[in-house]
Amino acid sequence: MANLVGLEVCVDSVDSAVAAERGGATRVELCSNLFEGGITPSAGLISTIRHKISIGLHVMIRPRAGDFCYSADEFEVMQQDILTAKQLGANGVVFGILNTGGSVNIERTRKLVELARPLTVTFHRAFDMSADLFRALEDVIYTGANRILTSGGEPNALEGLDALQRLVEAANGRIILMACGGVRDHNVHTILERSHVPEVHVGMVDSVPSPMRYQNKRVAIGSAQSREYARLVVLQENVEKLVKTLADAAPVRSQA
């Protein structure tokens, strides 16, 4: 039976993007630096992946790690990165901007949405960091964005199930709600049945050992020594397993 639930897989490498496509994902969200929640990937990475996969490619537009309240210079960087993503063949962009009080920065978000067209726009988990989820929902809808990535304001989708369900009801088809945060094949049925979201977003990365035969473990180039000789990758078989689970869940959701 065809999968009726959209599956977006977060990736930060060519290998992971290819594995996601081969596993049956609907699209990929491309980031760099997943250790800190993801930032804008390089033009080279966007271009290479665009030539390697044919499924949807959504590019993270986030100039730095940390909060989602940006300076004028950072906002300019975001605009330039959106133009670059468009030029390199992305199908969508992913971003989120908040004011200091935790509300959606409507003016800036709307400007980026208009700049991104005709690309699809996802307002990312900055939404979960907002002071009022339901006010933020209306604000994001007003900006013209196509979807919201959310765990219901909680650490993961299971904990945020009640909020996710109420958000879907409040949206009433005006915007897509995509559940994220700890979504796996063993819990996705519960998330879909309870929340009625039409799409899910997964990280689904596994740590694989480095091929380096010589390893100088006395020196840490990054922020954690244990990361120097570890790589996080998406495995095709894991995507295939989740896709099968989603296909089995689809008829349950279609009756809701």
Domains assigned to the chain: 6-254 (3.20.20.380)
Instruction: Write out the two tokens for 39.
Output: 């930032």
Of residues 214 and 177, more confidence is placed in: 177
pLDDT for res 226: 53
pLDDT for res 224: 53
Tens of pLDDT, residues 71-110:
999 999 999 999 999 999 999 999 999 999 999 999 999 9
Question: Are the CB atoms for 248 and 187 separated by under 8 Å?
Answer: no
Of residues 209 and 116, more confidence is placed in: 116
DSSP per position, 131-143: S-HHHHHHHHHHH
Of residues 152 and 3, more confidence is placed in: 152
What distance in Å separates the CA atoms of residue 251 and residue 233, rounded to the nearest whole number? 31
pLDDT for res 254: 36
Tens of pLDDT, residues 211-253:
888 888 777 666 554 567 778 899 999 999 999 999 886 544 4
Alpha helical stretches, state H, the chain? 14-23, 43-52, 72-87, 106-116, 133-143, 161-171, 188-195, 236-254
Tens of pLDDT, residues 129-157:
999 999 999 999 999 999 999 999 999 99
Radius of gyration of the chain (CA): 18
pLDDT for res 255: 34
pLDDT for res 212: 83
Tens of pLDDT, residues 21-72:
999 999 999 999 887 889 999 999 999 999 999 999 999 999 999 999 999 9
